[in-house]
Structure formats: C-alpha cells, structure tokens
Amino acid sequence: MPELFETPKPVEARSPGAQRAHLKQRLAAAFRLFARYGFDEGVAGHITARDPEQPEHFWVNPFGMYFGHIRASDLILVNAQGEVVKGRAKVNRAAFAIHSRVHAARPDVVAAAHSHSMYGRTWSALGRRLDPLTQDACAFYEDHGLFDDYTGVVLETSEGDRVARALGASKAVILRNHGLLTVGQTVDAAAFWFISMDRCCHSQLMAEAAGKPIPIDPEHARKTHGQIGSEEGGWFSFQPLYERIVREEPDLLE
Ligand SMILES: [Zn+2]
C-alpha cells in the first residue's frame, strides 16, 4: 500500500533527561489543548506519560488543577504503588487505578488519555462501538474496545485491569456511561486520537439524529484504517496542534 503521508518520525531525544523534558512539554501541551476543546469537567480527566528511565512510573496532571493552566513543571511523577514521588500535589485515585493498569498491560503504550468530554461521554451511554461513517472514523475501525460494565468511580486497580482487558491491543476504549480512553506510543498520538475520537462521536451522534447514515463498507474501512490509523499518523496529526498551542501559550513549556 503506498504511503499516504511522508511522515517525519518522532524526535528521539539523546539523554533520558532530554527525553523526559520533551515528554513533559508534550504532556503539558496536550492538557492545554484538552482545555481548548472543552474536555475538562471539574477535576475529572487525566493524561499519563511513562517515564523514560523508570517504566513503572508515570507523569500525570496534579489533581484539582485546571488543564488550561498546566505547565511542564506542574506535572507530578507517580510510582507503581500510587505514591507521588515528584511534585507536591496529589494524584487523582481514579487516574492511578486506571492508568497504572493500562501501562502495565501494554508495555508499548507510553501515554494514555481520558476525560469526560461531552461527545465521548454522550456516545458512551449508547454502549456501542463507533461505526466507520467517515474517513476520520476509520482510524478507529476494528481498533477500539468497549468496557460495558459501569459500577461507579474507578478506584480499584482490579477495575483498571478490566478496563485494560477491554482495551486489548487497540488504540482506544469506550467506557460505557463514562467517556473515552485512548493510548499511544507517544503523548502526541494518544492526545490526537482522543481529540479525533471525541469528534467522531460528535459526528455519529449528529448523523444519527439527522437520519440514517450510510457506513463505509468493511473492505474500504479497513483500507482507510491502514492509511490514516497508524501510530505515525496519530503523531503527525498532532504536530500542527502542538505548534498552535505553543505559539499561543508559550508558558506551558516552563
Ligand atoms: Zn473518568
């Protein structure tokens, strides 16, 4: 299959320290973008990034801080026991319960994003996977799971394990009556898939409200998934968003 995009590869920083600085800046930018898209709902939502030197530790947002104010230096580091080992803020217990188990189940996953975005959570109430209604939605075709067992706020790692099982080897999972969770080998890809998936939920909700949408047939949905649904495709699609938010809010890099 011919390459749709000549995608430049993600920058490999040289030292672990430089890798960590890069990772934290991407993570802070992802939070600023989530705020711009209106994905915040009070204190709900978290994006995590695995530390380059300590793979069982992850960086995450300080519990209770507005996404739109987060700078790289505000991020906190959490260990495998759920203790904050860098930074003074607390960690959201649900963030630890879900993300620690997703990172443990998927060694390839560097970043995981979850929030209570309006269209993602509304779509989640239907208890269905997304259909390949548009080209963009094909990025998720046969590539997202459904966790259809809502039992309250996720506070136990055993429930995080069940979320990880529903995610399987895919890039995303719909948490019924709750919202979306996406993953990637970079912060960039995980954040882009979240943004795109929320918009695909919005699109399908509107299409079904307006009439009877015609899905793309499986053969072409699969082909389109191969063209736009790769890790590199997710990373590349995030680059203009990153450049926009850094230009508009350069303090996020601090
Ligand atoms: Zn949640």
- pLDDT per residue as tens, the chain (254 positions): 445 666 556 666 678 899 999 999 999 999 999 999 999 999 999 999 999 999 999 999 999 999 999 999 999 999 999 999 999 999 999 999 999 999 999 999 999 999 999 999 999 999 999 999 999 999 999 999 999 988 888 888 999 999 999 999 999 999 999 999 999 999 999 999 999 999 999 999 999 999 999 999 999 999 999 999 999 999 999 999 999 999 999 999 99
Instruction: Give the distance (Å) from ligand 1 centre to CA of residue 98.
Output: 9
DSSP H stretches of helix in the chain? 16-36, 93-105, 118-124, 157-167, 187-210, 218-228, 231-248
Instruction: Give the distance (Å) from ligand 1 centre to CA of residue 43.
Output: 10
Instruction: Give the distance (Å) from ligand 1 centre to CA of residue 12.
Output: 31
Instruction: Give the distance (Å) from ligand 1 centre to CA of residue 223.
Output: 32
Instruction: Give the distance (Å) from ligand 1 centre to CA of residue 60.
Output: 14
Instruction: Give the distance (Å) from ligand 1 centre to CA of residue 114.
Output: 7
Instruction: Give the distance (Å) from ligand 1 centre to CA of residue 211.
Output: 31
The one-letter code for the residue type at 67 is F
Instruction: Give the distance (Å) from ligand 1 centre to CA of residue 173.
Output: 12
Exposure string for 177-197, b = 16+ CB within 10 A, e = fewer:
ebbbbbbbbbbbbbbbbbbbb
Instruction: Give the distance (Å) from ligand 1 centre to CA of residue 46.
Output: 8
The one-letter code for the residue type at 216 is I
Distance from C-alpha of 200 to C-alpha of 230, rounded to nearest angstrom: 17
Q: Which two tokens stand for residue 56?
A: 């069982």
**pTM of the prediction?**
0.95
The pLDDT of residue 2: 46
Instruction: Give the distance (Å) from ligand 1 centre to CA of residue 25.
Output: 23
